[in-house]
Amino acid sequence: MSLLFMRTFRNRRTGILWLTLLTVACSPALNWRDTRLGESSVVALLPCEPDHAQRSVPLGGVPRNLTMAGCEAGGATFAVMLAEAPASQANELLAGWRSATLANMKAEGVQTQAFVPRGALALPESVRISARGHRAGGETVQAQAVWLSRIGPGGQSAQLVHLVMYSERPMPEAAATFFSGLKLQ
C-alpha cells in the first residue's frame, strides 16, 4: 500500500509540475496595454509595463524636451518618444531624427514606406522603416520604426512621434500590433 501511495504521489507531483510548466509556457510574452505619453493625448500600445522618462535632446540643433516610454518583452525592446517643435519644421526634424537613428545603429538594408495613421500629418517624412544594424555593443539587431507628426495642442506646434522596436530576429506580428496600436487622440 505504501508503494502504491508513493507512485500516486509522485505521479500527481509530476502531473502538477507539467501542468505548471504548460501554464507558464502558454502565458503571453507580450501583454499589450495602452500607455499615455506624459501629459499629451498620444497613446501607444506597449507589450509590457513601461518605464517613463523625460530629458532634453538636441533635435534640429535645438534642445527639446523628449518624453519617452519603453520596456522589454518577448526578446524585444519597445520604445515610444514624443517631442514638440514648430509645425513648420516638422518634416525636416523627422528626417533628421530618422537619419540619426539609422546612423547610430549603422543600419543596412533599410526598407521605407509611408506611414500616416489617422490624426497624423501627411508629411513626406512620415515613414515606417525596417532595417538591420548593430547595438552599441556590436550585436546584430533588427529594427522596425516609425516617425510621424501631428498638430499639437492649440495648433501652434507639432508633436513629433517616434516608435521603435529592436529585436534579435524579425518579429513582424509584434511590430504590426505595436504600430497599429498608436492613437493620436
Whole-prediction pTM value?
A: 0.83
Does the structure show a pLDDT above 90 at 27? no
**Cα gap 87→152, rounded to integer Å:** 8
Nearest to 182 by CA among 78, 42, 33: 42
**Containing structural domain, residue 62:** 31-184
pLDDT of residue 11: 54
Do residue 57 and residue 82 come from a single domain? yes
How far, in Å, CA of 175 to CA of 152, rounded? 26
| 23 and 50 assigned to the same domain | no
Asked whether residue 106 falls in the same domain as residue 43, the answer is yes
Q: Which residue has the higher pLDDT, 155 or 94?
A: 94
Whether 55 and 143 map to the same domain: the answer is yes
47 and 98 fall within a common domain: yes
23 and 51 assigned to the same domain? no
Determine phi and psi for 44, rounding to 5 degrees: -110, 155
Q: Are 128 and 160 in a shared domain?
A: yes
138 and 65 within one domain: yes
pLDDT at 1 exceeding the cut of 90: no
Question: Where do we find the cell 509540475?
Answer: 17
